[in-house]
A = this chain, B = another copy of it.
């Protein structure tokens, strides 16, 4: 976050590393898409609109596919490639992306503003990316688009920014990301397990709550506020207790396997 000439500029940087964030046989068009979309999702969670991106690109035999995917995702989000660096290298390949955005509302939402009594809400289902990952991994031929080409909720983020007390995107798992919001805000988030919308069969609910990569927006709003978009009320912010999360009243903390603790 930078204040420049009276504007709030949001900057994000993510790296994707072969073998950690994508498999060696992944279609690099999907990797390029994900690299851009995950950074733009960070902007969405700040209620920001993208101004441009900078790419750190390691050359490989699959560059043509990478560049095709890059062109697609940049065109989709109408965001220009402002520059970057191209380097040679060898596996594991690593790609970096910096996204620059302009916040539409000040103060810019963070994960730190949830207050006791706020409603905890989620813009969409969790678990679809998990099913996509499993389809790819198991070669079932089932749809994997949600995993391969995640969507940033730019429009929703901009509409919500003036209303929320806290907001973030769910990238590492709903419960884990909610725990981070709870700790940053100094509250405990009490989540109603059955109220969480899932894209999976009911018997996978616990997995869906712990899988990331869906990039729905998780946010808190004061009780009684009318929302300009459809969202699901999944819990409430309570006074801080011994754990950041209560799931159907059961205390949970980060060591309970809440999601993907990535590095």
Contacts from A to B (Cβ < 8 Å): 1-2, 4-7, 9, 11-17, 19-21, 51-52, 54-56, 58-59, 82-90, 92, 94, 96, 98, 100, 102, 262-263
A169 to B9, CA, bound (A): 27
- Given A58-B94, A96-B56, A96-B96, does the pair A13, B89 have CB atoms closer than 8 Å? no
- Whether B94 pairs with A19 at a CB distance below 8 angstroms is no
Closest residue of chain B to A57 (Cβ to Cβ) is B15
- Whether A87 pairs with B263 at a CB distance below 8 angstroms is yes
Contact of A11 among B12, B14, B19, B54 (CB under 8 A): B54
A83 to B100, CA, bound (A): 12
| Residues in chain B near residue A2, CB distance under 8 A | 51-52, 82, 100
Contact of A5 among B7, B89, B90 (CB under 8 A): B7
Closest residue of chain B to A20 (Cβ to Cβ) is B88
A88 to B102, CA, bound (A): 30
A20 to B262, CA, bound (A): 27
Contact of A13 among B17, B19, B54 (CB under 8 A): B54
A156 to B263, CA, bound (A): 39
Contact of A263 among B21, B54, B88 (CB under 8 A): B88
Closest residue of chain B to A7 (Cβ to Cβ) is B5
A86 to B13, CA, bound (A): 10
- Smallest CB separation, A203 vs chain B (Å): 31
- Whether A55 pairs with B13 at a CB distance below 8 angstroms is yes
Closest residue of chain B to A93 (Cβ to Cβ) is B94
